């Protein structure tokens, strides 16, 4: 099935096949330019067109309502093929035709761009998008592929090529008439060349018609012959612009999808490293999430949300870029469904998890020591090689950094902290605070109470355990132990090296200096 164009010539309306229309158009262009300079040229052209209309009329009937390619061929034969116009009864052209036969050897103008007087047009016959590259290449005498490559490269450098190309597309005129096409290539504009050009174009139209028949499927994103020849003018321009924009959008979507994917992976790795300190994932699962009754659901939810977004973006992007036509049934709906469900799961489980940590309760305990200025306070840590001695005990680490489960208890090495507090006068006081979180106040209190931190005081020796322990069934409820020791001035504090390593020297105020060889802390009195 072919497209039909409704046209009129000399006031006579007729229907004509698309290919035939193009042929007729070219022929009329030739006639026009041929008689342009003749005296009464307009009238001659009008007469010819009127005659053509008559010929069309003769050929149309009730049974045949369409002017076809064959009709145009016949009409052109009748009216005279362009080459015949050269050697027939045309007085004015006689002089030029004799000179044009001499200059026929010079028509190979593309080879010598410098001596020709040529102008820049857009080439409608050799265009991929708008014929900008082809047209300018004629002017420069290059192969159009060079300019095209440059444009593509420029596109990758912040898309500068696109703006320039579009500007040129708008500003540079298209070589429509035969004269313009000859000027574009720098060939001499005379009858001989016009004739040659027109007959070339007639041949290529013939070829194009054959190609159209063969052009069954459109593969990939290449603008096919049929699109090139069939569309024309502004409609084509916007169509191509739309295509380019679409491709850009496709690329953008793909980039977003890949970006989210990379971001998620990177984010997970970071979280794993910073928050969990590469701790066993199962441990986290068991001791953080299990109590909430929705084991690891939150991870499933996050995964669903991210996966659906990533897949959607990457798939859409690839589809546009590579012109993939196949549509996976229900993909859009399915992905959206997964996204929504994943989102719901995330929200619900997130809220649930959060609730189990919404309350925090403290259980303090204190004890006073009977020391006076001049006495020495010893702070020791009970021997326990559970956690590696060489590990740098740093409060900044997450609670999961030193976490071990054994004998039905969870032992947490980084959930304890000790402060020294310098006071002017008074007694030495040790203040140990156990805190935990829970779903409710009561639960938080219970969890805090469950913390086992066996410390003791013997006259002037404070002995602290290196870590706290909670029943395994309690799971991680941000259990913490905070120790504060008030020391009046004048009292010396001596910490074993073991102790000072386990409990780093954070203090509330005053200046504290650890004296390594003597194994003691020294106050720097600020007066």
Partner 1 sequence: MNIENTKAQMRKGVLEYCILSILQNREAYPSDIIDELKTAKLIVVEGTLYPLLTRLKNAGLLSYRWEESTSGPPRKYYTLTENGKVFLAELDKTWDQLSTAVNKTTSKTSKK
To the nearest whole angstrom, how small is the minimum distance from the Cβ of residue 92 to partner 1?
A: 8
Segment lying near partner 1 (by CB under 8 A), choices 86-94, 139-147, 184-192, 400-408: 86-94
Q: Cβ closer to partner 1: 53 or 294?
A: 53
Q: Cβ closer to partner 1: 81 or 290?
A: 81
**Cα–Cα distance measured from residue 193 to residue 200, given in angstroms and rounded to the nearest whole number:** 10
E strands, 395-491, are 403-406, 409-412, 416-423, 428-438, 456-458, 461-464, 468-471, 480-488
List Cβ neighbours of 295 (8 Å cut-off, separation of 6 or more).
285, 289
Q: Of residues 1, 6, 11, 235, which one binds partner 1 by CB under 8 A?
A: 11
Contact between 51 and partner 1 per CB under 8 A: yes
To the nearest whole angstrom, how small is the minimum distance from the Cβ of residue 28 to partner 1?
A: 12
Q: Of residues 43, 74, 200, 449, which one binds partner 1 by CB under 8 A?
A: 43
Instruction: Say how many C-beta atoms besides its own lie within 10 A of residue 299's C-beta.
Output: 17
- Picking from 524, 455, 527, the residue whose alpha carbon sits closest to that of residue 493 is 524
Contact between 234 and partner 1 per CB under 8 A: no
To the nearest whole angstrom, how small is the minimum distance from the Cβ of residue 195 to partner 1?
A: 13
Q: Cβ closer to partner 1: 40 or 293?
A: 40
Q: Cβ closer to partner 1: 85 or 523?
A: 85
Q: Cβ closer to partner 1: 191 or 462?
A: 191
Helix (H) or strand (E) holding 350: helix 331-355
The site that binds partner 1 (CB under 8 A) totals a number of residues, namely 29
To the nearest whole angstrom, how small is the minimum distance from the Cβ of residue 243 to partner 1?
A: 42
Q: Cβ closer to partner 1: 57 or 358?
A: 57
To the nearest whole angstrom, how small is the minimum distance from the Cβ of residue 75 to partner 1?
A: 9
Instruction: Say how many C-beta atoms besides its own lie within 10 A of residue 358's C-beta.
Output: 12
Q: Cβ closer to partner 1: 91 or 524?
A: 91
Q: Of residues 5, 25, 50, 154, which one binds partner 1 by CB under 8 A?
A: 50
Backbone angles phi, psi at 362, to 5 degrees: -115, 145
**Coil, strand or helix at 115:** coil
- Among positions 16-35, residues that touch partner 1 (CB under 8 A) are 31, 35
Q: Of residues 5, 7, 28, 53, which one binds partner 1 by CB under 8 A?
A: 53
Q: Of residues 4, 38, 204, 496, which one binds partner 1 by CB under 8 A?
A: 38
Contact between 204 and partner 1 per CB under 8 A: no
Contact between 6 and partner 1 per CB under 8 A: no
Contact between 48 and partner 1 per CB under 8 A: yes
To the nearest whole angstrom, how small is the minimum distance from the Cβ of residue 103 to partner 1?
A: 17
To the nearest whole angstrom, how small is the minimum distance from the Cβ of residue 99 to partner 1?
A: 15
Contact between 235 and partner 1 per CB under 8 A: no
Contact between 166 and partner 1 per CB under 8 A: no
To the nearest whole angstrom, how small is the minimum distance from the Cβ of residue 179 to partner 1?
A: 19
Contact between 449 and partner 1 per CB under 8 A: no
Mutual orientation of helices 18-35 and 69-79 as an angle, nearest 10°?
20
Q: Of residues 54, 74, 362, 458, which one binds partner 1 by CB under 8 A?
A: 54
Q: Cβ closer to partner 1: 8 or 376?
A: 8
Contact code string over 88-117 relative to partner 1, x by CB under 8 A: xxxx--------------------------
Segment lying near partner 1 (by CB under 8 A), choices 45-53, 149-157, 276-284, 469-477: 45-53
Segment lying near partner 1 (by CB under 8 A), choices 5-13, 109-117, 192-200, 499-507: 5-13
Helix (H) or strand (E) holding 318: helix 297-322
**Cα–Cα distance measured from residue 225 to residue 232, given in angstroms and rounded to the nearest whole number:** 12
Let me know: does 317 contact 252? Beta carbons within 8 Å. yes
The residue with tokens 């989102």 is: 343
DSSP secondary structure string, 42-108? HHHHHHHHHHHHHHHHHH--SS---B-HHHHHHHHHHH--HHHHHHSS-HHHHHHHHHHHHHGGGG-
- Picking from 380, 393, 372, the residue whose alpha carbon sits closest to that of residue 495 is 380
Integer-rounded Cα Rg, in Å, for the chain is 45
The residue with tokens 């590696």 is: 388
Q: Of residues 2, 15, 70, 87, which one binds partner 1 by CB under 8 A?
A: 87
Q: Of residues 1, 39, 217, 330, which one binds partner 1 by CB under 8 A?
A: 39
- Picking from 182, 162, 161, 184, the residue whose alpha carbon sits closest to that of residue 172 is 184
The upper half-sphere exposure of residue 490, i.e. CA atoms within 13 Å in the direction of its Cβ, equals 10
- Picking from 188, 200, 173, 197, the residue whose alpha carbon sits closest to that of residue 112 is 188
DSSP 338: H
Contact between 44 and partner 1 per CB under 8 A: yes
Terminal-to-terminal C-alpha distance of the chain: 103
- Picking from 204, 318, 191, the residue whose alpha carbon sits closest to that of residue 251 is 318
Contact code string over 56-85 relative to partner 1, x by CB under 8 A: -x-------------------xxxxx--xx
Q: Of residues 15, 47, 173, 207, which one binds partner 1 by CB under 8 A?
A: 47
Q: Cβ closer to partner 1: 47 or 280?
A: 47
The dihedral formed by the CA atoms of 87, 92, 98 and 100, expressed in degrees to the nearest 10: -90
Where along the sequence are the contacts to partner 1 (CB under 8 A)?
10-12, 31, 35, 38-40, 43-44, 47-48, 50-51, 53-54, 57, 77-81, 84-85, 87-91
């Amino acid at each position: 099935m072919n497209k039909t164009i409704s046209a009129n010539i000399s006031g006579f309306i007729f229907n004509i096949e698309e290919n035939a229309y193009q042929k007729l158009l070219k022929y009329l262009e030739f006639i026009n330019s041929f008689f342009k300079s003749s005296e009464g040229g307009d009238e001659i052209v009008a007469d010819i067109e009127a005659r053509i209309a008559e010929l069309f009329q003769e050929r149309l009937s009730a049974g045949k309502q369409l002017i076809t390619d064959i009709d145009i061929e016949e009409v052109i034969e009748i009216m005279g093929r362009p080459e015949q116009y050269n050697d027939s009864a045309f007085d004015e052209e006689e002089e030029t035709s004799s000179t044009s036969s001499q200059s026929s050897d010079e028509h190979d103008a593309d080879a010598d761009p410098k001596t020709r007087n040529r102008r820049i047009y857009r080439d409608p016959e050799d265009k991929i998008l708008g014929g900008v590259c082809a047209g300018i290449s004629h002017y420069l005498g290059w192969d159009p592929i060079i300019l095209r490559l440059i444009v593509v490269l420029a596109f990758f450098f912040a898309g500068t090529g696109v703006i320039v190309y579009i500007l040129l597309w708008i500003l540079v005129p298209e070589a429509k008439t035969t004269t313009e096409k000859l000027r574009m290539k720098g060939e001499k504009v005379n009858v001989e060349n016009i004739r040659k050009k027109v007959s070339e174009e007639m041949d290529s139209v013939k070829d194009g018609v054959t190609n159209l028949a063969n052009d069954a499927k459109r593969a990939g994103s290449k603008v096919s012959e049929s699109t090139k020849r069939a569309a024309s003018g502004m409609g084509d321009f916007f169509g191509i612009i739309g295509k380019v924009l679409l491709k850009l959008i496709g690329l953008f979507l793909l980039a977003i999808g890949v970006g989210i994917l990379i971001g998620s992976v990177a984010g997970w790795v970071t979280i794993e490293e910073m928050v969990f300190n590469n701790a066993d994932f199962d441990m986290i699962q068991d001791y953080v999430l299990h109590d909430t009754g929705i084991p690891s659901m939150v991870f499933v939810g996050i995964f669903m949300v991210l996966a659906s977004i990533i897949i959607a973006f990457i798939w859409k992007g690839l589809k546009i870029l590579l012109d993939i036509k196949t549509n996976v049934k229900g993909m859009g709906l399915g992905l959206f469904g997964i996204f929504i469900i994943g989102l719901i799961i995330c929200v619900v489980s997130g809220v649930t998890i959060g609730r189990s940590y919404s309350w925090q309760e403290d259980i303090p305990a204190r004890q006073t020591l009977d020391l006076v200025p001049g006495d020495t306070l010893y702070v020791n840590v009970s021997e326990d090689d559970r956690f590696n001695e060489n590990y740098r005990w740093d409060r900044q680490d997450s609670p999961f950094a030193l976490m071990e489960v054994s004998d039905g208890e969870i032992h947490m090495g980084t959930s304890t902290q000790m402060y020294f507090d310098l006071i002017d006068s008074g007694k030495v006081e040790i203040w140990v605070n156990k805190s935990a979180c829970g779903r409710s106040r009561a639960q938080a209190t219970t969890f805090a109470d469950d913390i086992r931190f066996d410390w003791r005081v013997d006259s002037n020796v404070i002995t602290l355990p290196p870590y706290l322990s909670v029943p395994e069934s309690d799971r991680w409820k941000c259990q913490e132990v905070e120790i504060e020791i008030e020391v009046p001035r004048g009292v010396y504090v001596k910490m074993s090296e073991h102790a000072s390593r386990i409990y780093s020297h954070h203090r509330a105020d005053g200046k504290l200096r650890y004296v390594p060889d003597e194994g003691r802390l020294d106050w720097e009195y600020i007066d």
